[in-house]
Amino acid sequence: QPAQVSVAIDLNSPGAKIEPAIQGQFAEDLGRGLYDGIWVGPDSKIPNTNGYRSDVMAALDKLHIPVIRWPGGCFADQYDWRDGIGPREKRPVRINYTWGGVTYDNSFGTNEFMDYAERLGADAYVAGNMGSMAPRDMQQWIEYMTAGGKSTLAEERRANGRDKPWTNLKYFGVGNETWGCGGNMTAEHAANEHRRYATFVQRQSEGGPIVRVGSGANVDDYHWTEVFMRDAARTMDALSLHYYTFPGSWEHKGPATGFDKAAWASTLVHALHMDELVTKHSAIMDKYDPDKRVALYVDEWGTWYDQEPGSHPGFLYQQNSLRDAEVAALTLNIFHRHTDRVKLAAIAQMVNVLQAMILTRDDKMLLTPTYHVFDMYVPFQGATPYPATVEGPRYKQGEYDLPMVDVSAAKGADGKLYLSLVNLDPDRAARVTTGLGGTATGRILTGPAIDTHNTFDAPNTIHPVAYAGKNVGGKLVFDLPAKSVAVVAVTQ
């Protein structure tokens, strides 16, 4: 018997717009995220367009990616942007001390990144090096990317093949994780450093204002947010928050596939913790910034498991299953409920790293369940959310106690009402009754096992299929299978 669940959607209480940027991506110089994943170089046997993998680019195109954050992450604070410009054969080979101690040849640098983002129609979120370089380096990097006119750096960019400034540089990160890999600073020191560096971040470019993003808290470090808001709010337009979901502990995270139901439930409990984090960090921000001028950017989130056996240590390469699809949907739904403050988010990471959209091996590529959720969620970009109240049984698994069904509702930019319905229970179907009339069609993602995933030999094992609600006595009803994510458009 399916569980009976009811949903009330309050169409009279629209929230602030869901910024498209909450579906942002993070692409660090880490493992095979950039090299191999995005960039193979123009001489590669792998089909490419000016060095960019054609298959990956075509797949990413479909996601309407609003923003990409680059080059880190922790890597940002070891990166000298000057290494990555000019003729590729002359660029220095460096050691990636942050990730695996491997060398990289800098063939994917500023021009390659900015052009790539532009081709995908995405804004660029460039993370500056505050840990090991001077404010002047940030200033000059921004000048290289955004200056028109005749400055020497603008001319250098032209000599490197890019005439016009990139107008898609919308965001600039003033350091990353300055509490850890970005310099191991105290909150007070980091807030001061932020003020100093942000002074030299050019705020206007030909593309419009550049958002200065402060390096924010790790998980529940509320003191960090307090100090940044108290001491540095005036010099920032957004403050970041990083939170990763793992089923076990930091030392023993657990495998990406082949896990049991306890790990499934634990992962989803940890994913839902995002709501508390955003709520509490936002409350602190409200104290110092009641007008909500400073946004909260969850610019690193996603699942983090044990790396795949046999993969390079430090490359953070992991499989991605139906469980990740649930985490993605639940997390995006949480962001839909906090649109007053959360204006950007970036899942870690786009290709081949952590909770990726795409995995590649040589010339093969697969789309992960997380990719499919992002694809299904495109209509939520720019939509207006409505509160949805769900009543129904809980899903209990040992010590874990979760809501069985999660729902997000929003009116899309196209005027249609969209619903996302997530069944967290791996065993039990739900019959979800809404107060809405009309019909609803869309797509659903589910699979036979809790770790259903795609492989290079079977890349289409899990993919969305057509799905529809039923009109029962004038009310829209959804038969939602166990462990599933559905997105539908309602026609009333």
Binding site for ligand AHR (CB under 6 A): 28, 72-74, 176-177, 242, 300, 348-349, 354
Q: Is 115 exposed, middle or buried (0-12, 13-18, 19+ CB in 10 A)?
A: middle
E strand spans, 83-228: 94-95, 103-104, 123-128, 169-174, 204-205, 208-209, 211-218
Instruction: In angstroms, give the least distance from the CB of 345 to ligand AHR.
Output: 13
Instruction: In angstroms, give the least distance from the CB of 179 to ligand AHR.
Output: 10
Pick the catalytic residue: 28, 112, 226, 300? Answer: 300
Instruction: In angstroms, give the least distance from the CB of 149 to ligand AHR.
Output: 35
Q: Is 400 exposed, middle or buried (0-12, 13-18, 19+ CB in 10 A)?
A: middle
Instruction: In angstroms, give the least distance from the CB of 182 to ligand AHR.
Output: 8
326 is catalytic: no
Query: Considering beta carbons, is residue 271 or 376 the nearer one to ligand AHR?
Result: 271
Query: Considering beta carbons, is residue 23 or 349 the nearer one to ligand AHR?
Result: 349
Query: Considering beta carbons, is residue 110 or 176 the nearer one to ligand AHR?
Result: 176
Q: Is 336 exposed, middle or buried (0-12, 13-18, 19+ CB in 10 A)?
A: buried
The DSSP secondary-structure symbol of 288 reads H
Pick the catalytic residue: 143, 177, 193, 226? Answer: 177
Instruction: In angstroms, give the least distance from the CB of 113 to ligand AHR.
Output: 16
Provide the 10 A C-beta neighbour count for residue 277.
21
Q: DSSP for 117-157, please give it.
A: HHHTT-EEEEEE--SSS-HHHHHHHHHHHH--TT-HHHHHH
177 is catalytic: yes
The CB-nearest residue to ligand AHR is 73
Q: Is the peptide bond before 397 cis (omega within 30 degrees of 0)?
A: no
Query: Considering beta carbons, is residue 28 or 112 the nearer one to ligand AHR?
Result: 28
Contacts of 296 (CB under 8 A, 6+ apart): 216, 238, 239, 240, 241, 278, 281, 282, 285, 338, 341, 342, 343
**Residue count (the chain):** 492
Q: Is 161 left (phi over 0), alpha (psi -120 to 50) or beta?
A: left
Query: Considering beta carbons, is residue 178 or 266 the nearer one to ligand AHR?
Result: 178
The Cα angle at residue 398 between residues 395 and 401, in degrees rounded to 5: 35
Query: Considering beta carbons, is residue 304 or 380 the nearer one to ligand AHR?
Result: 304
Instruction: In angstroms, give the least distance from the CB of 417 to ligand AHR.
Output: 35
Active site residues: 177, 300
